[in-house]
Amino acid sequence: MWRPHLLRSWRERLRSSRWRLWAALLLLVVSLLVVLVFLAAEYEESRDQTALEQDAAALASDIRSSLLRNVQTLQSLHSVAPTADSWIVPAAELMAQHREMVRLEWLDSAQRMLAFRDSPFVPDLFGYLGRDQALPEVRLACDHAKRLSGPAYSSSYFWPLRNGKGLELIEMCLPVARGGLPSGFLVVTYSLPGMLSELTNRDLLRGRGLAFNEADGTRLALHSVVSGTRRTLTARHVLDLPGHTLLLQLQSPRLVRGLFPNVLTAVVGALSLALLSVLFLLARDIRRRQRAELDVAEALAFRKAMEDSLVTGLRARDMQGRITYVNPAFCDMVGLSAEQLVGTGLPAPWWPPELVDEYQQRQMVRLAGQVLPREGYESVFQRPDGTRFPVLIIEAPLIDAQGKQTGFMSAILDLTEQRRVEDLNRTSQERLQATARLATVGEMASLLSHELNQPLAAIASYASGTLNLLEEPAGQVSSADEMQADLVQAMRRIGEQADRAGRVIKSVADFVRRREQVREVVTPQSLVDAIQPLLGLQAKKQGIRLQIQIAPDCPPVLCDRTMVEQVLLNLARNGMQAMPQGDPAPRSGLRVLRIEVGQARLHSGQAPGGQPQKMWVSFAVTDHGLGLSPEVQAKLFTPFFTTRAEGMGLGLSLCRTVIEQHGGALTHEPHTPRGTVFRFTLPVSMVTSPPLSSRP
């Protein structure tokens, strides 16, 4: 009877056996790779050692051949210089050509010195110890050369120098003859380091170490060493010279070629690993596929949740303008479901009826491949119930994984709340403007009481004079005509003074009165005339001379008259307050407030399409005060920043806001010799309008 626990036991034994087989196979492949790498490394090292020994033999052969050529050169030198005097010059030339020679001597048959020459490259070689200290080596070499009838070498010896250093030297003695009879010996003192550097092939020594050693391994001379601390290969070759034997040692760093020294090892290792990798990849493929499917499902669910939670509307269209995707935010925005929107084309169901043609033309331009405005553009949508709302549309090309454009992706932002906030801000600014005007009127109340006393006193005086004329007895009146003329003149003066007082009061009332912002065509002269009575009061009280200069050809501007008048009044009052009494002295002639109006051409030429560029009118208010410090300039237009104890800190901030709403700019700059110039610009009206009269 088949039992489940027996089946489980059989499966566990089978799984355990399979893992043991895999482990054995893996161990076998790893062992094979280790053996291959070891054998390849041994082969590479043996090959490098053989090549190094061949190079050492070649270097020893080069030294031996060079020494033989030197012997032939010495024999020819002796044949061309029969006397000691004639021998000196060619010997010097020979020493200059062979750096390995440090001394050349000519001895007679009794080994007495006839002539010598030292190397110019090793000065004062025998200055520390005399030459006689090396004579035993010379005698041994010459005795051996006499027996051999050829060149013979002495054993090497160390020769100290004055600077605490020294050289390893070796003597070579060559018997010479002339006319078949012995004529002495030529003795050459060789420097072992010089022999290594001058008699060897330098190309074979790049990156290698070369030295002369004794048979027991003692180093005699060194030419170069192997750099670094890497393991080195060493080759030694015997340099057998007549009378002495040297051991030439050549060292080379072992080249490390990584884990696989040659191609064969790499191929076998790669094939062995491939056998295991294929099986491993096949087993892992199913698990990866399942994991990938799970990841894709989770990614789709996450993207769907993210798109559903957005407040920005998303809309995708193909190249023909048909909608292929919308998110819930867009559906809520236009009041239509996704089923009603997907698959629809142009015209869109959310377009206002009267704007369909305009929107249709704009979409055709975009679908034709024109460059899309990445900063977005504003439009108006309409819901099925007729409600309209402003939106900001940002479009971009929809690119697939192959880099091909398949449509357009749009992000739509509902601007209804933003427009409401902007309206609230605009209303707040208007209220602040009104508050500022009321504060200005409060400051001018005392000035008005003083200024109105003059016309009222004049009216009372003329009225009293008129009564006096009427009450005079008939006999005192000179004539009826004269009395009538006096009465007419007095009544005219009374009317003029009353009109003057009315203008002052009306200018303040018009300034304080709050009204809707209406852009109208206004002449610069009327703007200045409207605030001139108010400015005249304060200027007269502070002893400031007011200068107004308006260009005769200055065109009218398009602006909100009340707000621009307040800007001009605030700048002028600030300029007066910047010139306190006594600084500078009135007689210096600097207490002057100047208002200049002229045309400023900030743009020239014509815009694309033949439209003329904008033109501007510049208003400048110049004072002769103490100027502005860098700290004040940095915070000049900051709201609630003021340098006066009674100031609110809103005047300049509101002035700049008003000018920027008109499209202009408010700037300031220092004035020479002292003071500050505040300048703002207003656009010139393009509407032809008759000149407006000055405001009363």
- Domain ranges, ordered by start, for the chain: 58-253, 310-414, 438-514, 519-696
Let me know the angle formed at the C-alpha of 236 by 232 and 240, rounded to the nearest 5 degrees: 160
Phi, psi of 383 (to 5 degrees): -85, 165
Lookup: tokens for 678: 């505040």
Q: How far apart are CA 447 and CA 72, in angstroms?
A: 126
Cβ contact 612:685 at 8 Å = no
Residue 377 burial (CB count, 10 A):
12
Distance of CA 535 to the CA centre of its chain: 52
d(CA 219, CA 217): 6
Q: In what order do the strands lie in the sheet with 377-382?
A: 323-326, 313-318, 405-414, 388-399, 377-382
H-helix segments, 242-355: 263-309, 328-334, 338-341
Report the candidate in 580, 603, 599 with the shortest Cα–Cα distance to residue 591.
580
Q: In this predicted structure, what is the pLDDT of residue 610?
A: 41
Top CATH class of 58-253 equals alpha beta
Query: Cβ(658)–Cβ(567) under 8 Å?
Result: yes
Three-state helix/strand/coil letters over 191-234: EHHHHHHHCCCHHHHCCCEEEEECCCCCEEEEEECCCCCCCEEE
The reported pLDDT for the residue numbered 137 is 87
Mean pLDDT of 35-62: 82
Classified as helix, coil or strand, 664 is coil
At 437-473, the pLDDT tens digits run 666 666 556 555 555 655 676 677 667 777 777 776 6
Q: How far apart are CA 628 and CA 625, in angstroms?
A: 9
pLDDT per position as a tens digit, 368-396:
655 555 567 778 888 888 888 888 887 77
Q: Which two tokens stand for residue 364?
A: 């055709």
pLDDT in tens, 653-674: 778 888 888 888 888 888 887 8
- With contact defined as beta carbons under 8 Å apart, do 619 and 524 qualify? yes
Write out pLDDT tens, residues 506-560. Answer: 655 665 554 555 678 888 888 888 778 777 777 777 778 888 888 888 889 888 8
Q: What are phi and psi of 675, to 5 degrees?
A: 110, -175
pLDDT over 90, % of the chain: 3
Q: What is the pLDDT of residue 375?
A: 63
Q: Does pTM top 0.95 for this prediction?
A: no
More confident residue, 624 or 309: 624
Nearest residue to 250 via CA among 63, 399, 71: 63
Question: Of residues 148 and 11, which shows the higher confidence score?
Answer: 148
Q: Looking up tokens 């306190």, which residue turns up?
A: 580
Fold category of 310-414 in CATH = Beta-Lactamase (3.30.450)
Topology, domain 519-696: Heat Shock Protein 90 (3.30.565)
Asked if 383 contacts 414 with a C-beta cutoff of 8 angstroms, the reply is: no
Q: What is the pLDDT of residues 234-250, one digit of tens each?
A: 888 888 888 888 888 88
Distance CA 249, CA 223 (A): 10
310-414 and 519-696 in the same fold:
no
Side chain identity at residue 4, one-letter code: P
- Give the strand pairing for 666-670 and 592-600: unpaired
Q: How far is CA 602 from CA 261, 583, 614, in A?
A: 76, 36, 8
Per the listing, tokens 């550097």 go with: 197
Q: What is the DSSP letter of 474?
A: G
Which of 23 and 94 is assigned the larger pLDDT?
94
